[in-house]
C-alpha cells in the first residue's frame, strides 16, 4: 500500500495540531489476515456473545478524541469500570489514565488490534478513530489510511469475533446534491471531502457486512457536536465550541463561517446518550443500520446572539475560511431523524438556550457573566 509510505512522517505533527484521537500508526500496515469466507466459519469459535456475560466487554478506539473519554465515562457507570477499555496511540492525561482501563491500540496494526479483542474478550467495539473534515483535507493520504484502511481492519475483526460494532458517521456524509432542509436518512450522498467519502464508505461497508456475514453493525450520523471539556479539533463545526472559549477569555470571537450558515448541532450529552441507546436497542427494532440523529439547528449569528444574552459585551466578527465554508455549504441544514425517534425512541434533551447555559456553567464563566450583568 504505497500511500502508507508517505504518511508516517506527518503523523506526530498532525495529531498535535488537530487534537484528534485518530489511532493512526507510523508503522507500515500489516495485511489483513482473514478472508470474508473465513469470517462466518470462525466467528462462533472465537466469540463471546453478549448473552453469555453480565455486561458487554467494550473497546473504544481513537478514545482520546472529542467523544471517547466521555463515552467511556458513561459506559463505565452503566457496565462497570473494568468492562470498558479506552484505547489510542497517544499518551493519555493522568486523569484519563487513572479513571479506568487504558491500552495502546493501533487500528492500522491488524494483528495488535485482533490480540486486544481476543485477550480482553471484547464483545462491543466503538470505532472512533478518524481524521475530521478540515484536517482530512489537509492530508488526504493520511485520512485515507486512517478512515478507510483502519475501518477495514475493524470490520474484519468485528465480523470474525461476532462483535457488536458501532461506527459513527456524520453530516459530512452528504454533499451539495443531497436534500439539505431537511436531509432524510436515505437520499443521494455525494460528499466532496475525504472525510465524507470515507464515512459513506463506512456506512455501506457496515451494511454490507451485516447482510453478508451477519455483523451487528450500528451507525449514527452525528451533527456538529459541542462539548465543554475538549478543544476544537479541526472540524468545520468547531466554531460552535470556540466561541465559548473566546467569549470567556477575551470577549472577542472571530468566526470562520458566514453568519447565516445553518448546520445541525447537538450537545455532547445528547450525542453520548443516543450512542448508548442505539447500541442497547433490540436488533428487531432497527429498520436500518445507519440513522440520522438531531437536536437543534442554528447559524453562527443565532449562536452569537444567544451567547450575548450571557455576555453582552462579546464582540463577534467574521473572517470566512473558504475551505470550511465550502464544506459547510455542502452539508445538511437540518436532519430528518424521524426514523430514530420512531424505531428506538430517540429524544434529545438540549436545545440552544440549554446548550449555551450548560457550556458556560462547565467552562466557569460565572465571574465574567456576573460582571456583565
Which residues does the annotation mark as catalytic? 195
Asked if residues 78 and 56 have their Cβ atoms less than 8 Å apart, the reply is no
Rounded CA-CA distance 57/62 in Å is 17
DSSP state of 28: P
Asked if residues 264 and 296 have their Cβ atoms less than 8 Å apart, the reply is yes
Asked if residues 124 and 163 have their Cβ atoms less than 8 Å apart, the reply is yes
With a CB cutoff of 8 Å and minimum separation 6, the contacts of 33 are: 110, 111, 114
Rounded CA-CA distance 267/287 in Å is 26
Q: Residue 308 to residues 225, 283, 303: CA-CA distances in angstroms?
A: 21, 45, 9
Return the C-alpha cell found at 242: 470556540
Rounded CA-CA distance 263/180 in Å is 10
Return the C-alpha cell found at 370: 456576573
Amino acid at each position: 500500500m504505497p500511500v502508507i509510505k508517505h504518511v508516517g512522517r506527518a503523523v506526530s505533527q498532525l495529531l498535535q495540531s488537530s487534537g484528534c484521537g485518530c489511532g493512526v500508526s507510523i508503522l507500515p500496515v500489516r495485511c489483513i489476515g482473514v478472508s470474508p469466507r473465513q469470517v462466518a466459519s470462525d466467528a462462533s469459535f472465537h466469540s463471546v456473545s453478549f448473552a453469555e456475560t453480565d455486561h458487554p466487554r467494550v473497546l473504544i478506539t481513537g478514545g482520546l478524541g472529542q467523544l471517547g473519554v466521555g463515552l467511556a465515562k458513561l459506559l463505565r457507570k452503566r457496565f462497570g469500570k473494568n468492562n470498558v477499555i479506552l484505547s489510542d496511540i497517544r499518551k493519555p492525561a493522568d486523569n484519563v489514565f487513572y479513571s479506568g482501563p487504558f491500552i495502546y491500540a493501533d487500528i492500522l496494526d491488524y494483528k495488535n488490534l485482533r490480540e486486544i479483542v481476543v485477550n480482553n474478550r471484547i464483545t462491543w467495539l466503538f470505532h472512533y478513530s478518524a481524521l475530521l473534515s478540515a484536517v482530512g483535507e489537509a492530508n488526504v493520504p493520511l485520512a485515507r489510511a486512517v478512515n478507510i484502511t483502519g475501518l477495514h481492519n475493524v470490520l474484519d475483526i468485528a465480523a470474525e469475533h461476532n462483535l457488536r460494532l458501532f461506527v459513527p458517521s456524520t453530516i459530512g456524509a452528504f454533499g451539495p446534491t443531497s436534500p439539505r432542509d431537511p436531509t432524510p436518512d436515505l437520499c443521494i450522498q455525494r460528499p466532496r471531502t475525504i472525510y465524507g467519502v470515507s464515512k459513506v464508505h463506512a456506512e455501506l461497508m457496515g451494511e454490507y457486512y451485516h447482510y453478508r456475514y451477519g455483523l451487528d453493525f450500528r451507525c449514527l450520523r452525528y451533527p456538529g457536536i459541542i462539548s465543554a471539556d475538549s478543544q476544537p479539533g479541526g472540524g468545520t463545526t468547531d466554531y460552535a465550541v470556540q466561541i465559548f472559549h473566546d467569549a470567556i477569555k477575551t470577549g472577542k470571537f472571530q468566526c470562520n463561517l458566514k453568519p447565516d450558515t445553518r448546520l445541525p448541532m447537538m450537545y455532547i450529552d445528547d450525542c453520548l446518550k443516543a450512542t448508548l441507546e442505539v447500541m442497547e436497542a433490540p436488533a428487531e427494532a432497527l429498520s436500518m443500520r445507519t440513522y440520522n440523529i438531531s437536536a437543534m439547528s442554528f447559524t453562527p449569528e443565532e449562536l452569537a446572539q444567544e451567547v450575548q444574552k450571557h455576555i453582552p459585551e462579546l464582540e463577534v466578527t467574521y473572517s470566512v475560511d473558504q475551505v470550511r465554508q465550502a464544506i459547510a455549504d455542502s452539508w445538511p441544514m437540518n436532519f430528518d431523524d424521524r426514523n430514530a425517534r420512531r424505531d428506538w425512541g430517540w429524544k434529545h434533551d438540549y436545545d440552544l438556550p440549554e446548550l449555551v447555559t450548560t457550556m458556560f456553567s462547565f467552562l466557569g464563566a460565572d465571574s465574567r457573566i456576573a460582571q456583565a450583568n
